[in-house]
Amino acid sequence: DEIRTAHIVAKARLLTAIRERTGLSLSVDSLTIGFARRATPYKRADLVFSDIGRLLDIAKDCGPLQFVFAGKAHPNDYGGKEFIRRIVAIAREIENQVPVVYLENYDLDLGKLLVSGADLWLNTPQRPLEASGTSGMKAAHNGVPSFGTLDGWWVEGHIEGLTGWSIGESGEVPPESMNRQDAAALYEKLGSTIVPLYYQQRERWIDVMRQSIALNASYFNTHRMVQQYVTNAYIT
């Protein structure tokens, strides 16, 4: 009950900030999927929109979805800027069926709102290019489970259905095949497992939130990082 109550408060803060920044009112009852990190092509921020028709079918048949994106591109990363433009264009296209928000001026304060207020944390990097994926670690500290490709920290932190859910398989495949396979896996798991769990088994969903804190937040933190730097690098 404490986790549920705390998350409702955090989600309300996020939705209030979105309304103040954009004028768009998102529903507190809808599954809210967060994605916030540096905008660059290998992060594949648009993977979830690979098949818009299928995404809309999931939202119609399984339960309402809404997405909150944030993240800046390096000034010289034109591919990253193009990803932002693409998501903004998609948001306009599907706004009446699946609300999509791209928040400007991403900073630490906005990051805090996102990793605590989202219901599910999405991470879709092209394997094996993810350095770590620390936003998912911060989400875990707030009881927000991850849904991501098996790269970076999620290779260690992922326990299927307990701390979150994986997208696709581990290991390297050609990028063109990876995109197709990962998108198919994303839609399959979102529609058959994640959305039904959120709407139909809320107590089980809260249990996944608890396990994210107990298993991931307890281990993937700055204390462990500093300790391992000291023991594995500095004093050896």
At 213 the pLDDT is 96
Q: What whole-number distance in Å separates Cα of residue 199 and Cα of residue 218?
A: 27
At 173 the pLDDT is 77
At 176 the pLDDT is 75
Helix residue spans in the chain (DSSP H):
2-22, 52-61, 78-94, 108-117, 134-141, 154-157, 175-189, 195-200, 202-211, 222-229
Residue ranges of the chain with pLDDT lower than 70? none
- Give me the helix-helix angle, 108-117 and 2-22, nearest 10°: 130
At 149 the pLDDT is 94
DSSP per position, 111-156: HHHHHHH-SEEEE-PPTT--S--HHHHHHHHTT--EEEES-TTHHH
At 169 the pLDDT is 84
At 175 the pLDDT is 74
Here the contacts of 192-198 (C-beta below 8 Å, separation 24 or greater) are: 193/161, 193/165, 194/31, 194/120, 194/147, 194/165, 195/31, 195/58, 195/62, 195/63, 195/65, 196/62, 196/63, 198/31, 198/63, 198/119, 198/120
Q: What is the pTM of this model?
A: 0.94
